[in-house]
Amino acid sequence: FSSAGDFFERERGYLARAVTMVRISGHQHRRSPWFKIALPIHPVLIFVLLLIGIYAVVALFSYEAIVSSSTSINSNAPSITTSVHQKQVGGKDTTTVAFAVSVTGCGKDPITEGAAVLKHSIHRASIHGTLGGMFDYQMVVIYHPSAEECTMPLKDLGYTLLKREVFVKVPEIQGDFLRERIEHNGCCGEKELIKLEAYTLTEFPIVVHLDLDVLVLKPLDELFLWMLTSAGNPSSPNSPSIMWPDKAWPSQPINAFYTMDYNMVRPKTKYKPVQGGFLVLRPSMEVYKEFQSIVLKGDFRVTGGWGGVVGPFYGSMTFQGLIPYYYEYLHPNQSVELSRCIYNQMADNPRTGRTVNDKVQGDCRVGTEECEDCRSRPIEDVITTHYTLCQKPWTCNPHSQNAIQHRLCRKLTAEWFKVRSEMEQSWGRPAGTGAYHTQNFHGYCKSAGSSGYIPIAKPYGL
């Protein structure tokens, strides 16, 4: 069956036909001459029909219970209630993965630019695209009520919109230090916690939460297969995708993949912040409720952060601190840190000192004697990139300098515009008309700076 609903609709049909048969049979009993011959058969027939009726009723209530349990605890928000784990696309069996983004408020940047190109990059890397992906996808945007106006256009781009309040009320946080400061922590205060709503999307086996300034260059199938296998062991334990290949692989199924933001803390800091733009997770209401409980308890200390062990650092009171506190400290052995040179590549300096004439200086930020410079990675190795240090593509920065960071940023920015160009062409549109650095911007920039960027025109998809 294509869905659980189809199954139960069939059962309802059986029940309806059974009732009709009883009525017709009863009519024949009164008027048919073979009544006496059929009489011994009727008790058995009635018993069978009764069993079918009971089965259909029980199945119907079970279905309603499943739908009810899949609805988010945030009762005033819409939810995805159809199970989409398994399906067929083009005659091939596949699994649907949710790709989620969050919007905490409406700023100056037009979120439709990043949302449109991000979605198309995911499409290219899916079973529908040309990059060899094996998985289907569904786009979801989780937004705070204050961001409703700027989020609505994403519906036209094919996103499912989920409005969510923060899962705790700040005055109810027990810890004084956290309660008094969380609203001003990091980029977005307590609203950053809506990223954790991704854990409520239990209709999907896996959720990938990304920032809107991310681009997917290759399929993430390697991660999905690791999460969906019973043991979760990689085919190659020394895969370059893993940050610490010599570290023991989790003995239990993997529930999360992420990268760390080593730029935010000193090299010797034991628990590093997670980079907030990339998280692959296994959704779970149990995990969601534990995060909620942690925040309500509010055990965030002045000098030690969460539990006195994780933090403080930028954004540590919310997502960037809670994820490492949960997976690295409270529940180790169920997550894997990925290489930030391959996943969530940001072209950042690996050392504490400046880079002069492509020579890096200072200590390795990861805390080891030697460390890889992600800026030297060939773009062909990169699976996802995050436009932070490279700046947003819609700023039309040519990165003309002949320096290690700018050379990679130039290539990564050109890749974003290449994907945008493919998207526009798939909509039947002509090439861009901008004449500024066309080899990098593919006709979508007239000059350097945000004012020189040519926005994606509406209607989307046409």
**37-41, 44-48, 109-113, 428-432: least confidently modelled range:** 37-41
Separation CA 246–CA 238 (nearest Å)? 7
Q: How confident is the model at residue 249 (pLDDT cuts 50, 70, 90)?
A: confident
Which two three-digit tokens encode residue 156? 């036209």
Which among 65, 64, 46 has a CA at the least distance from the CA of 54?
46
pLDDT at 314 > cutoff 60:
yes
pLDDT of residue 190 exceeding 70, the answer is yes
With residue 101 as reference, give the H or E element that holds it.
strand 92-103
Least confident of 48-52, 98-102, 259-263: 48-52
Is the pLDDT reported for residue 460 higher than 90?
yes
- Say what the pLDDT of residue 268 is: 94
pLDDT number for residue 5: 41
Distance, in Å, from the CA atom of 156 to the CA atom of 230, rounded to the nearest integer, reads 38
Q: What pLDDT was estimated at residue 43?
A: 58
Of 434, 427, 349, the C-alpha closest to 117 is 427
Mean pLDDT of 324-340: 97
pLDDT at site 305: 98
Tell me: pLDDT of 334 over 60: yes
CB 105 within 8 A of CB 142: no
Q: What percent of the chain has pLDDT over 90?
A: 73
* Closest among 129, 127, 140, 126 to 82, alpha carbons compared: 140
Place of tokens 């999307």: 201
Q: What is the dihedral of CA 154, 156, 160, 166, to 10 degrees?
A: 30
Q: Which of 50, 45, 44 is nearest to 15 (CA)?
A: 50
At 252 the pLDDT is 86
**Residue 65: per-residue pLDDT:** 37
Report the length, in residues, of the chain.
Answer: 462
Check pLDDT > 60 for residue 116: yes
Instruction: Give me the DSSP letters along 27-38.
Output: HHHHH-TTHHHH
Name the 3-class secondary structure at 12. helix
DSSP-derived letter for residue 107 is -
Strands 305-306 and 300-301, by their bridges, are antiparallel
pLDDT higher than 70, residue 381: yes
What is the pLDDT, as a whole number, of residue 46? 60
Parallel, antiparallel, or unpaired: how do β-strands 305-306 and 335-337 relate?
Answer: unpaired
Give the single-character DSSP code of 129.
S
Average pLDDT over residues 198-224: 97
- Give the pLDDT band (50/70/90) at residue 238: low
Q: How far apart are CA 399 and CA 410, in angstroms?
A: 5
Does the pLDDT at position 206 exceed 70?
yes
pLDDT score for 53 = 58
What pLDDT, on a 0 to 100 scale, did the predictor assign at position 88?
64
Q: What pLDDT is recorded for position 236? A: 52
Distance, in Å, from the CA atom of 281 to the CA atom of 334, rounded to the nearest integer, reads: 11
Report the half-sphere exposure of 279 (CA within 13 A, side-chain side): 28
Q: Which pLDDT does position 295 carry in this prediction? A: 98
Task: Give the alpha-carbon dihedral of 264, 343, 253, 367, to 10 degrees.
Answer: -40
Cα 456 to Cα 453: distance, rounded to the nearest angstrom: 10
Helix/strand/coil for 296: helix
Per-residue model confidence (pLDDT) at position 25: 36
DSSP secondary structure code for residue 68 in this structure: H
Task: Convert the pLDDT of each residue in 359-374 to its tens digit.
Answer: 999 999 999 999 999 9
Q: Which whole number is the average pLDDT over 131-139? A: 97
Confidence of residue 251 (pLDDT cuts 50, 70, 90): confident
**The pLDDT value given to residue 261:** 98
Mean pLDDT of all residues in 414-436: 97
User: What integer is the mean pLDDT of 279-285?
Assistant: 98
Question: With bands split at pLDDT 50, 70 and 90, how would you rate the model's confidence at 126?
Answer: very high
Phi, psi angles (nearest 5°) of residue 248: -55, 135
pLDDT of 160 over the 90 cut: yes
Q: Which helix (H) or strand (E) holds 140?
A: strand 136-143
Is residue 127 left, alpha or beta, with left meaning phi > 0 and alpha meaning psi from -120 to 50? alpha
At residue 230 the predicted structure's pLDDT band, cuts being 50, 70 and 90, is low
Instruction: List residues bridging with 274 in a β-sheet.
Output: 260
The enclosing H or E element of 11 equals: helix 4-31
Query: DSSP states of 205-261 as a string?
Result: S-EEEE-TTEEE-S--HHHHHHHHSSS---SSTT-TTBS-TTSPPPSS---EEEEE-
Q: What is the mean pLDDT of the chain?
A: 85
pLDDT at 383: 98
Q: How many CB atoms lie within 10 A of CB 427?
A: 14
Q: In this predicted structure, what is the pLDDT of residue 68?
A: 35
Could you read off the pLDDT of 63-89 as tens digits, one per residue? 333 333 333 334 333 445 444 566 666
pLDDT tens figures, 395-415: 999 999 999 999 999 999 999
- Measured CA to CA, the distance from residue 97 to residue 118 in angstroms comes to 15
DSSP string, 405-423: HHHHHHHHHHHHHHHHHHH
The answer to whether residue 32 scores a pLDDT higher than 50 is: no
pLDDT at residue 69, as a whole number: 34
